[in-house]
């Protein structure tokens, strides 16, 4: 084992000691005296009026303590709750059910099994209604109106949003030598963290304090929302997000089950645990994507890209519950011009309601950049197909050049830093691109299908500048607090939360780098609103860009305070002191220094300090990022396809990522590995289809196939380092880069393999059936089981 | 109906009265408080619940507690011995074989079984062995490296033991 660095560098994780012993504490591991168990009754219909609910038999069950329905909650003004997009969502249905799996009633019983038994005793009389399943039918004149709960609502339209310069784009397209067009679907997928969502709620009637252990990526935002939704005073709410078994965006929002657990505790006076099962997780919690995209790309005959035009139909499900900054109804899809230097671009997005679960922004998507990158990277390959050009060459010709940074994009984003050609060439070299093309030619002569897919992505992460970005009015800035004990050991308190990213290690390393003390001397406290300062949480790859920045800032504040204390100790002016990692010394006299540990002790002692210095070294800080950070990367995927069965085997995957300065390279690589596997899952396996009645056909891991070790190749990683100019240590986010960048690489590889059949595009997931159909010239609608 | 069962778990014997429908995973977690074994799906697909039942890895979400009556169970809590962490535990730490930690206990139990039966597993052997289990964080790369680390570490230990024994004989 390697020695831990004093600062940045590969260091084994502190949190592993508990996990490898089975000693983590996930929400379902929390057991309180007298705790009761909740279970949720869900709608079997996608769209139905509720004529009546009879709970008498369930209530009579000897182990049942409470049964909640929409009517019970209406009495508490809790039948509906606000969503993260300013819509409302039913906690428990009162009038209608609007998707299969919607919450209808909640049973609280003495054990898990009894709670489930009692669900069977609830008699709901449903009157089924026609359902809207295909988003393309949602705005039809005769489409049933899903949200008749909203006053004056006569259709299923949610919003229209546009960005870019339409006139300029139209002009470019009117005169372009080549225009390629392609419809494509980024199908509905679900992040499916291995730990499902759940909560343990406990209202202490004596103190009036509500404590909720819950699967949340944003404990502080949840606390504020509970205060607003339930009308409880915020200081009487404590949200604890203990160890979280993966989030990926699935654990950002507040789900009805959490609210029901809270109400269950209020009603019974006991702690109530609710953990959803896997089908509930897949059928009712935040899904991702479901973007129906029409893309057009204009270029010269020799492959200089000139413009992009895009129209999107966005399926938001039955309630508009997407989790993204308020001013961005289509998330950051506006970054769809990607990594290319072009003249003009325009896109419009229309959001609609359908009878499917709410959500849309989840699954490591950086607020819809997944969809944007997929769109542009597919379009570039479609253009290469039409021009008969090598896709690597086409990208080479159009990538932004290093001297263009900071780059103001055609849709109003300012890319902070980048050296795109270097990343692309590094990836092509690692892959041995020319050799692969030669191998492919040979194989094609033998009738074998081999494909090479390239993608180049630009991410935009670290929301966000507070003036542009908020969620329900809460600005996206993060706080941090650093306490230094008299002996020089430290406690860092963070607003963000780890779901596996290793914050207890990397954030200790950030402090270590700034103060020159070992990371093992820094404890990181997170995931408990009573113990940590306010901040918006961990999603959209924002921990390092925002909370990482505030950690560096607060550590530097401590260091400056230490300088004043050291100056008193050494009886010199602070201006005469110089810093080297771990100590202040008098300029020109190396031996004169005081270590941070000595300074910490002195700061708590009877040392006489200047009048305006309070003593101690503790500091707090809030960081409002000046811009997003823009990590980027170049990926190359190599696949073999069996023409007879349509089976795709990913043989190699080369990923070159640039996320600026890497705090802990081992952890960065782990983040990339996971995202690459996600890309294979989305591109090839994960199907969430619906039939015409709105039955969810991907409601278990039997049907919703996730990649295993056998579908994943051994990942081949490379890196370039282009620091962010505005982040205090030049770091950028990395959590979602690979999930954003890998699906188009896999799809481009499969389509490339099918070249002998003239296939230009096919929608994900490229299951054997989808590939086989594409080869037959009859592409599948993989999202619908409607024939 | 309630049944009395006796199950040996990690070397200790436990007698409990349970419903016949109680799943082994819930018996371990809720009755015995051994929360290292996790639950992640209803369909035997995810493998977070893998434990050993009489020395064979099983998915404890699809085994009834009563089926373990009179049998022995080993869970992640039973890996660490008096002489310290099991090499598979060390391997997962050394090779960053875990992130959120949720799949880890099941992966560890399978890895231990694999190395017991195949002391020098190839990459393909390792991928095959864990193919009934899901990890959403690591893309499996570092899990494979972790298992290999553990196998190599154990091989090294065996070699050293043989060498040490040889030295003793000579002395």
DSSP element (H, E) containing A398: helix A391-398
Q: Domain spanning B3-78 has what CATH number?
A: 3.10.20.30
CA nearest neighbour of A354 among A133, A196, A151:
A133
Sequence ranges of the domains in chain A: 31-129+199-245+251-273, 287-463+627-775, 477-623
CA nearest neighbour of A541 among A736, A287, A721, A368:
A736
With CA atoms as reference, the chain B residue closest to A247 would be B100
Q: What angle do CA A407, A375, A781 make, to 5 degrees?
A: 170
Minimal Cβ distance to B138: which of A17, A18, A670: A670
Report the residue of B94, B99, B111, B132 to disrupt the A interface, i.e. the one with the largest count of A CBs within 10 Å. Answer: B99
Pick the CATH number of A31-129+199-245+251-273 from 3.90.1170.50, 3.40.50.720, 3.30.360.10, 3.40.50.2000: 3.90.1170.50
Q: Tell me, rounded to whole angstroms, the distance of Cα A32 from its chain centroid.
A: 31
Return residues 51-70 of B near A (CB < 8 Å): none
Report the residue of A9, A13, A19 to disrupt the B interface, i.e. the one with the largest count of B CBs within 10 Å. Answer: A19
A194–B136 C-beta distance less than 8 A: yes
With CA atoms as reference, the chain B residue closest to A281 would be B41
Residue B160 has what pLDDT?
79
Is the sign of the CA dihedral A140, A146, A150, A156 positive or negative? negative
Q: Tell me, rounded to whole angstroms, the distance of Cα A8 from its chain centroid.
A: 25
Sheet holding A103-109, edge to edge: A64-69, A103-109, A36-42, A272-275, A198-204, A209-214, A237-240
Report the residue of B25, B101, B110 to disrupt the A interface, i.e. the one with the largest count of A CBs within 10 Å. Answer: B101
Q: Are A60 and A369 in contact (CB under 8 A)?
A: no
**Measured between CB atoms, does B27 come within 8 Å of chain A?**
no
| Number of C-beta neighbours around residue A209 at 10 A | 16
Minimal Cβ distance to A500: which of B42, B100, B143: B100
Q: Domain spanning A477-623 has what CATH number?
A: 3.30.365.10
Summarize pLDDT for B150-169 with one digit per residue, the tens: 999 998 887 877 776 655 44
Q: List all residues 6 or more positions away from A122 whose beta carbon is below 8 Å from its beta carbon.
A: A41, A53, A54, A55, A57, A58, A67, A104, A105, A107
Q: Is A331 left (phi over 0), alpha (psi -120 to 50) or beta?
A: left
> Which pTM value belongs to this model?
0.97
Residue B171 has what pLDDT?
39
A112–B30 C-beta distance less than 8 A: yes
Q: Please, where in chain B does CATH 3.10.20.30 lie?
A: 3-78
Summarize pLDDT for B103-140 with one digit per residue, the tens: 999 999 999 999 999 999 999 999 999 999 999 999 99
Report the residue of A12, A20, A23, A677 to disrupt the B interface, i.e. the one with the largest count of B CBs within 10 Å. Answer: A20
DSSP one-letter string for A246-265: --TTTTSS--HHHHHHHHHH
Residue A4 has what pLDDT?
75
| Number of C-beta neighbours around residue A181 at 10 A | 13
Report the residue of A3, A26, A709 to disrupt the B interface, i.e. the one with the largest count of B CBs within 10 Å. Answer: A709
Q: Are A610 and A568 in contact (CB under 8 A)?
A: yes
Minimal Cβ distance to A701: which of B21, B43, B96: B43
**Measured between CB atoms, does A591 come within 8 Å of chain B?**
no
| A477-623 and A31-129+199-245+251-273 share a CATH fold | no
Rounded Cα gap, residues A432 and A690, in angstroms: 41
Return residues 671-700 of A near B (CB < 8 Å): 671-678, 700
B136: helix, strand or coil:
coil
Rounded Cα gap, residues A489 and A492, in angstroms: 10
Pairing of strands A619-623, A478-484: antiparallel
Chain B contact set for A502 (CB, 8 A): 99
A180: helix, strand or coil:
strand
With CA atoms as reference, the chain A residue closest to B75 would be A22
Chain A contact set for B127 (CB, 8 A): 709-710
First to last CA, chain B: 66
Q: Are A325 and A470 in contact (CB under 8 A)?
A: yes
Rounded Cα gap, residues A604 and A241, in angstroms: 33
A29–B126 C-beta distance less than 8 A: no
Minimal Cβ distance to B139: which of A12, A191, A677: A677
Shortest alpha-carbon distance between residue A665 and chain B (Å): 11
Shortest alpha-carbon distance between residue B164 and chain A (Å): 23
A677–B140 C-beta distance less than 8 A: yes
Q: Please, where in chain B does CATH 1.10.150.120 lie?
A: 87-170
A277: its two tokens:
């099962």
Rounded Cα gap, residues A724 and A713, in angstroms: 31
Residue B165 has what pLDDT?
63
B104–A20 C-beta distance less than 8 A: yes
| Number of C-beta neighbours around residue A489 at 10 A | 16
**Measured between CB atoms, does A719 come within 8 Å of chain B?**
no
A245–B38 C-beta distance less than 8 A: yes
CA distances from A354 to A149, A239, A245, A317, A331 (A): 14, 32, 30, 5, 19
Shortest alpha-carbon distance between residue A378 and chain B (Å): 24
Rounded Cα gap, residues A105 and A483, in angstroms: 46
Residue B169 has what pLDDT?
45
For domain B87-170, say whether CATH 2.40.128.30 is its number. no
Shortest alpha-carbon distance between residue B67 and chain A (Å): 18
Mean pLDDT of each 10-residue bin along chain A, 787 residues long: 80 98 98 98 98 98 98 95 94 97 98 98 98 96 97 96 98 98 96 98 96 97 91 96 97 96 97 98 96 98 98 98 92 97 98 96 94 98 98 98 98 98 98 98 97 98 93 94 98 97 98 98 98 96 97 98 96 96 95 96 93 92 98 98 96 98 98 98 94 94 97 98 98 98 98 97 96 91 69
Chain B contact set for A16 (CB, 8 A): 92-93, 98, 101
Hey, which bits of A85-122 come out as E strands? 88-90, 96-97, 103-109
Q: Are B47 and B132 in contact (CB under 8 A)?
A: yes
Q: List all residues 6 or more positions away from A288 whose beta carbon is below 8 Å from its beta carbon.
A: A188, A189, A190, A191, A249, A359, A360, A361, A362, A363, A365, A370
Shortest alpha-carbon distance between residue A508 and chain B (Å): 17
- Report helix angle A503-515 to A549-570, nearest 10: 30
**Measured between CB atoms, does A589 come within 8 Å of chain B?**
no
Q: Are A712 and A649 in contact (CB under 8 A)?
A: no
Q: List all residues 6 or more positions away from A50 whose beta carbon is below 8 Å from its beta carbon.
A: A70, A93, A94, A95, A96, A97, A104, A124, A125, A126, A127
Return residues 495-554 of A near B (CB < 8 Å): 499-502
A786: its two tokens:
């409607």
φ/ψ of A546, rounded to 5, equals -105, -60
A709–B144 C-beta distance less than 8 A: yes
Residue B80 has what pLDDT?
97
Beta-bridged to residue A315, according to DSSP, are: A352
With CA atoms as reference, the chain A residue closest to B137 would be A674
A164: helix, strand or coil:
strand
Rounded Cα gap, residues A610 and A567, in angstroms: 10
Q: Are A165 and A344 in contact (CB under 8 A)?
A: yes
Residue B166 has what pLDDT?
55
ipTM > 0.90, yes or no? yes
A274: its two tokens:
């609710």
Chain B contact set for A279 (CB, 8 A): 42
Q: Are A357 and A99 in contact (CB under 8 A)?
A: yes
Return residues 76-115 of B near A (CB < 8 Å): 76-77, 79-80, 85, 89, 92-94, 96, 98-105, 108
DSSP element (H, E) containing A739: helix A737-753
**Measured between CB atoms, does A607 come within 8 Å of chain B?**
no
A236: helix, strand or coil:
helix
First to last CA, chain A: 57
B40–A19 C-beta distance less than 8 A: no
A645: its two tokens:
């069965």
Rounded Cα gap, residues A527 and A511, in angstroms: 19
Per-residue pLDDT averaged across B5-14, rounded? 98
CA nearest neighbour of A266 among A112, A90, A68:
A68
Query: Counting every residue, how long is chain A?
Result: 787
Rounded to the nearest 5 percent, the helix, strand and coil shares of chain B are 45, 15, 40
Rounded Cα gap, residues A166 and A345, in angstroms: 7
Is the sign of the CA dihedral B30, B35, B41, B42 positive or negative? negative
Chain B contact set for A666 (CB, 8 A): 96
Q: Which fold has domain A287-463+627-775?
A: Aldehyde Oxidoreductase; domain 4 (3.30.365)
Minimal Cβ distance to A248: which of B136, B143, B144: B136
Hey, which bits of chain B come out as E strands? 3-9, 12-18, 50-53, 56-59, 72-74
Residue A429 has what pLDDT?
98
Q: List all residues 6 or more positions away from A547 whose beta carbon is below 8 Å from its beta carbon.
A: A478, A480, A494, A495, A496, A507, A535, A538, A623
């Amino acid at each position: 084992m390697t020695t831990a660095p004093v600062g940045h560098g590969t260091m084994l994780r502190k949190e592993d000691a508990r996990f490898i012993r089975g000693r983590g504490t996930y929400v379902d591991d929390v057991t309180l005296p007298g705790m009761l168990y909740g279970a949720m009754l869900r709608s079997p219909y996608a769209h139905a009026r509720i004529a009546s609910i009879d709970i008498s038999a369930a209530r009579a069950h000897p182990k049942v303590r409470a049964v909640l329905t929409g009517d019970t909650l209406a009495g508490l003004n809790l039948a509906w709750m606000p969503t993260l997009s300013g819509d409302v969502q039913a906690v428990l249905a009162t009038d209608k059910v609007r998707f299969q799996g919607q919450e209808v009633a909640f049973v609280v019983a003495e054990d898990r099994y009894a709670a489930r038994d009692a669900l069977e005793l609830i008699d709901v009389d449903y009157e089924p209604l026609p359902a809207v399943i295909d988003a393309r039918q949602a705005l039809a004149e005769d489409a049933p109106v899903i949200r008749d709960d909203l006053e004056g609502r006569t259709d299923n339209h949610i919003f229209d949003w546009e960005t870019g310069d339409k006139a300029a784009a139209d002009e470019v397209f009117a005169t372009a030598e080549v225009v390629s067009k392609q419809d494509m679907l980024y199908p509905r997928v679900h992040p499916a963290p291995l730990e499902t969502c759940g909560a343990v709620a406990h209202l202490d009637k004596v103190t009036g304090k509500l404590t909720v252990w819950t699967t949340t990526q944003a404990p502080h935002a949840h606390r504020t929302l509970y205060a607003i939704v339930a009308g409880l005073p915020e200081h009487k709410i404590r949200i604890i997000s203990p160890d979280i078994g993966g989030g990926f965006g699935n654990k950002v929002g507040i789900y009805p089950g959490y609210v029901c657990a809270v109400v269950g505790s209020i009603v019974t006076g006991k702690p109530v645990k609710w953990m959803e099962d896997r089908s509930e997780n897949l059928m009712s919690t935040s899904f991702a994507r479901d973007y129906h995209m029409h893309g057009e790309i204009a270029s010269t005959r020799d492959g200089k890209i000139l413009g992009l035009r895009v129209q999107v139909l966005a399926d938001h499900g039955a309630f508009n519950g997407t989790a993204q900054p308020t001013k961005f109804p289509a998330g950051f899809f506006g970054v769809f011009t990607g990594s290319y230097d072009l003249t003009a671009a325009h896109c419009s997005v229309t959001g609609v309601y359908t009878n499917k679960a709410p959500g849309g922004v989840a699954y490591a998507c950086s607020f819809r950049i997944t969809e944007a990158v997929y769109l542009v990277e597919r379009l570039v390959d479609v253009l290469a197909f039409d021009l008969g050009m090598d896709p690597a060459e086409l990208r080479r010709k159009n990538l932004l050049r290093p001297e263009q940074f900071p780059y103001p994009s055609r849709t109003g984003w300012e890319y902070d830093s980048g050296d795109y050609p270097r990343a692309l060439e590094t990836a092509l070299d690692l892959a041995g691109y020319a050799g692969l093309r030669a191998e492919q030619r040979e194989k094609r002569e033998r009738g074998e299908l081999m494909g090479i897919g390239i993608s180049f992505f630009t991410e935009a992460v670290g929301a966000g500048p507070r003036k542009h970005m908020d969620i329900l009015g809460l600005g996206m800035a993060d706080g941090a607090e650093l306490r230094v004990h008299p002996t020089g050991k430290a406690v860092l308190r963070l607003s963000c939360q780890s779901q596996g990213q290793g914050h207890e290690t990397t954030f200790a390393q950030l402090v270590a780098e700034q103060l020159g003390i070992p990371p093992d001397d820094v404890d990181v406290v997170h995931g408990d609103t009573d113990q940590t300062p306010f901040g918006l949480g961990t999603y959209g790859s924002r921990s390092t860009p925002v909370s990482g920045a505030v950690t560096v800032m607060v550590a530097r504040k401590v260091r400056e305070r230490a300088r004043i204390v050291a100056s008193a100790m050494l009886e010199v002016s602070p201006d005469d002191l110089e810093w080297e990692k771990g100590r202040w010394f008098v300029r020109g006299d190396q031996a004169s220094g005081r270590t941070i540990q000595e300074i910490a002790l002195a700061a708590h002692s009877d040392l006489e300090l200047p009048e305006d210095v309070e003593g101690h070294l503790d500091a707090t800080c809030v960081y409002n990022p000046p811009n997003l950070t823009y990590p980027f990367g170049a990926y190359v995927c190599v696949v073999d396809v069996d023409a007879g069965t349509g089976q795709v085997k990913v043989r190699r995957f080369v990923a070159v990522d640039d996320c600026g300065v890497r705090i802990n390279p081992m952890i960065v690589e782990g983040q990339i590995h996971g995202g690459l596997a996600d890309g294979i899952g989305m591109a090839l396996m994960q199907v969430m289809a619906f039939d015409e009645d709105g039955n969810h056909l991907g409601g278990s891991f039997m049907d919703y196939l996730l990649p295993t070790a056998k579908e994943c190749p051994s990942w081949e990683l490379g890196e370039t380092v282009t620091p962010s100019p505005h982040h205090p240590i030049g770091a950028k986010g990395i959590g979602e880069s690979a999930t954003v960048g890998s699906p188009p690489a896999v799809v481009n590889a499969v389509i490339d393999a099918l070249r002998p059949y003239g296939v230009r595009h096919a929608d994900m997931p490229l299951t054997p059936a989808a590939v086989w159909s594409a080869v037959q010239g009859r592409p599948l609608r993989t999202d619908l089981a409607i024939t | 109906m309630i049944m009395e069962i006796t199950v040996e778990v990690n070397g200790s014997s436990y007698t409990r009265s349970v419903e016949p429908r109680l799943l082994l995973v819930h018996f371990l977690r809720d009755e015995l408080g051994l929360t290292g074994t996790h639950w992640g799906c209803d369909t035997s697909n995810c493998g977070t619940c893998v434990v050993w039942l009489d020395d064979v890895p099983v998915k404890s979400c699809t085994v009834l507690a009563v089926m373990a009556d009179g049998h022995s169970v080993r869970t992640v809590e039973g890996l660490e011995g008096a002489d310290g962490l099991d090499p598979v535990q060390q391997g997962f730490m050394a090779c960053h074989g875990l992130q959120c930690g949720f799949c880890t206990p099941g992966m560890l139990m399978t890895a231990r079984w694999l190395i017991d039966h195949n002391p020098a597993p190839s990459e393909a052997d390792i991928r095959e062995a864990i193919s009934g289990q899901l990890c959403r964080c690591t893309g499996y790369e570092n899990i494979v490296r972790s298992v290999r680390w553990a196998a190599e570490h154990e091989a090294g230990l065996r070699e050293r033991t043989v060498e040490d024994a040889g030295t003793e004989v000579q002395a």
